[in-house]
Structure formats: C-alpha cells, structure tokens
C-alpha cells in the first residue's frame, strides 16, 4: 500500500504543477493522466468538447457504449491560486498544493485503482471519467460524456468529503430579474420611483415565498443569495431600472420550474434563467451505498458518515441521467482557499475503500 500511496502522491504533484486553471493547464494534466494510464495497460478513450480534452478509461469487458458496474469520476481542473500554490510539497503527513484536496489526489487514487484492476485482467466492468471543467462548467465534461452514452449502475465523484458519503446535494437555480421604477431628478425623488429600492423589496419578498419555507432532515431550507445588483447612472437621478442576480439553492424534492412560477407571481419586469442544476438525493439504503458504507467501516473502523452538501458537484449530471451517485473523497482542508492540503494517510484509506467496494460490487 505504501508504494501505491507514494505513486499517487507523485501523480498528484504532477497534476498540481500542471496548473489546470485553463485550457492549456487542463490539456497538460489530461496528457499526464493518459500516458500514465496507458503505461499501466488501461484502455483509454479520448473525447474533446469546446476545446477541452477528457478521458474515459475502461477495465473489464466494457467499452464506451457498454454499461459499467461502477463509474469513478474525477475532475482535473482546479480553481486559481497564488503561484506558490502550484508548487506542491509534503509536510507533517500532508500534501499541500492547489487542488490536492479538490480533487487531484482522489483522481490520482482512482487512476491507481483502475490500473490495479487492469493488471488483474479482471472481469469487473469499471469505468473512470477524467473531466476538464467541473469547477466552471460541468456540462462540458461529465454532462457531455453522459450524453454521449457513457453509463453505469453507480457513480462515485471523488469530491472532498473527508471520507464521508455525500448522498444529497441541493439543486441550483440562478436567475436575473429586471425591476423597473420611474426616473426623476435626484433633488425630487418623491416624483419618481426608485428601481433599486423596488429590487430590494422584491428580493425580500422572494425570501418569504412558500418555496423558501421548505426544509428536510438534511437541510434547514433552501438558500438565496443576492449575488449582483446593477442599476443607476447619474448621482442626481432616480434609477428607473435595476437588474439583480440571484443564486438559489433548492432542496431535493423541489422543482426549479415551480420556484420560478412563485417568483413570476411577484411580477418582476422580466426573468432570465442563467443556469439550473438538478438536486441529488440517493437513498441511504441504496444497495450500492450500503456496500460503500461497509467498505468505509472496514477501513476507517467506524460507521460511515452520511452527509448532505450545500454546493453542487458533477453528481447532478448523474442524477439527471438517472444514475445513482455519491460524492466521496479523502481527508483534507482549505479547498478553494489558502493552504489547501490532503492528508497522505487518508489517500491510502480512500484507495483501499474504493478497491474493497468494487470487489463487493462484483460479488453482489
């Protein structure tokens, strides 16, 4: 195991150095992954979408058009960071560097897992998806590959979860609302109607709508973020138009179309949908989840922790495709922040759990 963990750490370091914050960095990371997988006898299929490369690797009796039993999903893109964050280093059992935790170490461990299956000339049908754009536009990678027909019984996205199993995540509805008012001279505001004030009033009304009152055992409620406000030109004028951008994260079981209808009922001048994403809700007693939980208990020594995520990940595309999926990854801290690291020991635990889980799946 130690040798494998060292190999994963080295691979993770080369991904960190690739600085996959843009197309050229992602391309470099994807080339590293491709040659690494090929050198271990893994069959690799390449795809490209909107100038970004991606890989699907297969082991066992399966190809791009066949259904895999288990699909592992990793993104090689990372969020931007300071120059020194792209120079990885180890200290005190931790591997530091941008993307170490989100989620290059998990992706490298998934590659190692798949390579070990290829060497066993096993009959497991396992696929690995390495995608280029989870942080910015998951539809270019995971969404695109699923539309191309890649499919599976169950998928694991190696997002940072500290070895917890994320079985739920909120849906996304991002919108822009235009609100109008009546222009007037700034010295006589009572003759006008301030569009910014109207927009703020509308925002407060939205926060009180029925959809915002929903809650579940996982979540206190949906969230609403007033992300952007654009209005006003001259300081001596009452603004007559205001555009606000709202980021709404809704609960599994809610429908974004119904939420939009509630908002429409408040009669803004116009509504523009910027983006939507399906919520994820996998049954804690789903047979695949139970097998994963057993593997987690075996290697961590304690019962699996089930968690619910506030943010969305590529699991939303699996949800839309009807494939049950969870987020599950190693232990670390500070993803998207400074001092991001992954705990080296947990990489070994993560790898053992993945291998054990796949073995259980094949026997099941």
Scan for tokens 């270019």, then name that residue. Answer: 140
Where in 159-218 is the site for Zn ion (CB under 5 A)?
Answer: 159
For the chain, helix (H) and strand (E) counts, in that order, are 10, 19
* Residue closer to Zn ion, measured from CB, 268 or 329: 329
Residue 102 interacting with Zn ion (CB under 5 A) = yes
CA distance 42 to 112: 10
Residue 4 binds Zn ion, judged by CB under 5 A: no
Identify which range of 101-109, 115-123, 145-153, 222-230 contacts Zn ion by CB under 5 A: 101-109
Query: What's the closest the beta carbon of residue 165 comes to Zn ion, in angstroms?
Result: 16
Q: Which is nearer to Zn ion, 4 or 102 (CB)?
A: 102
Q: Which stretch binds Zn ion (CB under 5 A): 92-100, 156-164, 257-265, 290-298?
A: 156-164
CB of 93 to Zn ion, least distance (A): 22
**By CB under 5 A, residue 77 contacts Zn ion:** no
**Which CB atom, from 53 or from 138, has the smaller least distance to Zn ion?**
138
CB of 75 to Zn ion, least distance (A): 6
- Residue nearest Zn ion (C-beta atom): 102
136 or 300, CB closer to Zn ion? 136
* 84: Cβ contacts below 8 Å, ≥ 6 apart: none
How far is Cα 198 from Cα 44, in angstroms, rounded to an integer? 55
Closest among 301, 264, 259, 303 to 277, alpha carbons compared: 259
User: Site for Zn ion (CB under 5 A): which residue of 16, 68, 103, 224?
Assistant: 103
Give me the least distance between CB of 157 and Zn ion, in Å please. 8
**Are 244 and 190 contacting, i.e. CB atoms less than 8 angstroms apart?**
no
Q: Which is nearer to Zn ion, 158 or 239 (CB)?
A: 158
User: Burial letters for 113-134: b for 16+ Cβ neighbours within 10 Å, e otherwise?
Assistant: bbbbbbeeebebbbbbbbbbbb
What is the C-alpha separation between 88 and 228, in angstroms, rounded?
Answer: 35
8 A C-beta contact, residue 358 and residue 124: yes
- Least Å distance, CB 20 to Zn ion, is 12
Per-residue tokens: 176: 């822009």
Residues that bind Zn ion (CB under 5 A): 102-103, 159
């Amino acid at each position: 195991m130690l040798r494998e963990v060292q190999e994963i750490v080295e691979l993770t370091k080369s991904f960190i150095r690739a600085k996959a914050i843009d197309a050229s960095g992602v391309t470099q990371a994807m080339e590293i992954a491709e040659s690494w997988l090929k050198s271990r006898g893994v069959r690799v299929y390449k795809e490209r979408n909107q100038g970004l490369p991606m890989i699907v690797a297969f082991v066992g009796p399966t190809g791009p058009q066949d259904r895999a039993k288990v699909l592992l999903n990793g993104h090689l893109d990372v969020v931007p960071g300071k120059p020194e964050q792209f120079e990885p280093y180890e200290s005190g059992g931790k591997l530091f560097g941008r993307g170490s935790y989100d989620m290059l170490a998990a992706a490298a461990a998934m590659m190692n897992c798949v390579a070990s299956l290829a060497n066993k000339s096993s009959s497991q049908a396992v696929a690995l998806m390495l995608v280029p754009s989870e942080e910015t536009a998951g539809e270019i990678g995971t969404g695109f590959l699923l539309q191309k027909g890649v499919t599976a019984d169950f998928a694991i996205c190696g997002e940072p979860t500290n070895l917890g199993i994320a079985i739920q995540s909120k849906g996304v509805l991002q919108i822009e609302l235009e609100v109008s008012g009546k222009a007037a001279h700034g010295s006589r505001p009572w003759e006008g109607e301030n569009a910014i004030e109207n927009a703020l009033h509308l925002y407060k009304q939205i926060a009180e709508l029925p959809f915002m009152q929903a809650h579940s055992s996982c979540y206190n409620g949906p969230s609403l973020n007033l992300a952007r406000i654009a209005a006003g030109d001259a300081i001596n004028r009452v603004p007559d138009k205001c555009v606000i951008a709202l980021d709404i994260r809704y609960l599994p079981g809610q429908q974004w179309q119904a939420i939009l209808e509630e908002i429409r009922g408040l009669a803004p001048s116009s509504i523009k949908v910027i983006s939507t994403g399906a919520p994820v809700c996998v049954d804690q007693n789903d047979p695949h989840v139970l097998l994963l939980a057993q593997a987690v208990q075996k290697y961590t020594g304690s019962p699996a922790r089930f968690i619910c995520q506030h943010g969305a990940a590529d699991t939303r595309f699996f949800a839309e495709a009807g494939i049950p999926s969870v987020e599950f990854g190693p232990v670390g801290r500070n993803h998207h922040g400074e001092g991001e690291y992954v705990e080296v020991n947990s990489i070994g635990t993560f790898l053992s759990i993945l291998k054990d889980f796949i073995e259980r799946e094949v026997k099941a």
